[in-house]
Amino acid sequence: MNLAIIPARSGSKRIKNKNIVKVNNKPMIEYALDAAKKSKIFHKIHVSTDSKKIENIVKKLGYKSDFLRPKNLADDFTGIIPVLKYVLETYKKDFGLNFKNIFCIFPAAPLLKKQHLVEAYKLYKKYKSKKPLHVISEYNVPIQWAFSVNKNNILVPREPGMFSSRSQDLKKYYYECGPFSIFSSRHIMENVSDTNFIGFKMPKYSSIDIDTSEDLNFVRKILKL
């Protein structure tokens, strides 16, 4: 069985109540919920939240949160794997449900569409659930051109001598961009490492993960087009 987990804790710092902030008259989380529902690949969609307010909003949207997340898994320091593990263990212990494939779908990517989930799932199944999957996008510019800045505001090249190279001659690199990931239950229970992931490429315009007010305003403008 396939489970969609949408992590939506209440303690966002940079954008207050980020997961339920209005984006074109809809709570941000509604976009993720609708994409998951329309994909028709999930036996259950679970919102993992520590907030009664978020739980009530989700219910009003026609979805269900079977149980709340404990506060100790909703702080600023807990990673996502312990949260996913808690959800799996609770469904098994309290509901007698075992899930094979788990999608972690983040609520701060409102440009996510059902076809992204469906296409990524097809790619994931080609590997027979043996490898987890990350959504990736290509860096805007070659990382070989990257600089750090020292205490005197002087640029320090990451790879000295590479700035004169043409971008088309340089190896392409990608980053995990955030809309969702796919794991087997084994990956989660065994604390998967960051190696050996399948990469599912998504265009930058549809994989924006909102972290700042600038991101939020940009997405609002895109959705009005």
% of the chain at pLDDT higher than 90? 66
Q: Across residues 31-53, what is the average pLDDT? A: 95
In this prediction, residue 134 has a pLDDT band, given cuts at 50, 70 and 90, of very high
Domain ranges of the chain: 2-224
What is the pLDDT of the chain when averaged over all its residues? 91
Average pLDDT over residues 157-173: 91
Residues 6 or more apart whose CB falls under 8 angstroms from that of 33 comprise 6, 45, 47, 58, 61, 63
Four-way CATH pick for 2-224: 3.40.140.10, 3.30.465.10, 3.90.550.10, 3.30.1330.180: 3.90.550.10
Residue 27, helix vs strand vs coil: strand
Per DSSP, the three-state class of 26 is strand
Q: Is pLDDT above 70 for 178? A: yes
Residue 197 pLDDT: 93
58 alpha-carbon distance from chain centroid? 18
Give yes or no for residue 225 having a pLDDT over 70: no
Classify burial at 106, counting beta carbons within 10 Å of its beta carbon; exposed 0-12, middle 13-18, buried 19 or more: buried
Is the distance from CB of 199 to CB of 182 less than 8 angstroms?
no
Alpha carbon distance 184, 219 (integer Å): 31
What's the pLDDT tens digit per position in 47-72? 999 999 999 999 999 998 899 999 89
Q: How many CB atoms lie within 10 A of CB 115?
A: 12
Residue 12: per-residue pLDDT: 73
Q: What is the pLDDT of residues 191-223, one digit of tens each?
A: 777 778 999 999 877 888 888 888 888 888 887
pLDDT at 1 over 80: yes
Burial of 72: CB neighbours in 10 Å, binned 0-12, 13-18, 19+: exposed
Q: How many CB atoms lie within 10 A of CB 207?
A: 22
